[in-house]
Amino acid sequence: MSDWKKDNLRFLLNKLGGYPDNFQILDLGVGKDPFSEATVRFKNVVKMDILPYDAVNLVGDFNKGIPFKNNHFDCVLVNNVLEHCSTPPQLLREINRVLKPGGVLIGTVPFIIQIHQEPHDYFRYTEYCLRNLFKDAGFKDCSINNLGHSLSIYNNFQGLFFWKLLNSPLNIFEKTLIKIIWKGQRILIKLMGKIYQKCLQDDILVQGYGFVVEK
């Protein structure tokens, strides 16, 4: 699991931890359900996606509406989904509609991360944009946490860089050299990680955000 996914899982376990097992949850854009550990104890989880992955129990396009009545769910999850929605204000209003009063929207969005799921990758949001979107969709309170930091961003991009090199038409000598350099980089990152803990407070980079928004 990548650093980003580990941070997502930690955030979700923490935020869902206090809710009762009979909470009605809608997991929108659940995909392959990588954070199932955070929802497994809940009895009523609708897992919706436009693609019929194994974990999905409702196949549907959220751009065409969420097929539930008003005030139905205690919680809607949108993990790594808002960047793939071409009309986020419309989706957020629809989520607000299906949430009970006092219900919560919980989710994550990446910020400094590679383009993925092309061509359906439309946005990167700042914290301030998210706050405006939630407010305009009719939500009351929102709390937003930074997820990831300079070192996880560095780690992610160096991994992508070396992976790209190793999958390029290089000769065996060049590939062996790249593998040795990559291994050295990984050791360096491990060492830097220990030192880096001291600098986390003043970090200027964020890999993405986790949010809890109340209707």
Of the residues 63, 126, 176, 197, which one makes contact with ligand SAM according to CB under 6 A: 63
Stretch that binds ligand SAM, among 76-84, 136-144, 148-156, 164-172 (CB under 6 A): 76-84
Residue range at the interface with ligand SAM (CB under 6 A); choices 57-65, 93-101, 134-142, 165-173:
57-65
Q: Do the strands 99-110 and 208-214 form a parallel or antiparallel pair, or are they unpaired?
A: antiparallel
Among 10, 34, 97, 192, binds ligand SAM (CB under 6 A): 34
Which residue in 61, 136, 141, 174 binds ligand SAM (CB under 6 A)? 61
Cα dihedral sign, 187-191-192-196: positive
- Cα–Cα distance for residue pair 106/192, rounded to 1 Å: 32
Q: How far is the CB of 62 from ligand SAM (least distance, A)?
A: 4
Number of residues that bind ligand SAM (CB under 6 A): 16
3-class DSSP assignment, residue 103: strand
Site for ligand SAM in 101-140 (CB under 6 A): 117, 120
Residue whose tokens read 């996880």: 152
207 binds ligand SAM (CB under 6 A): no
CB of 28 to ligand SAM, least distance (A): 7
Q: Which residues bind ligand SAM (CB under 6 A)?
A: 29-31, 34, 49-51, 61-63, 79-81, 84, 117, 120
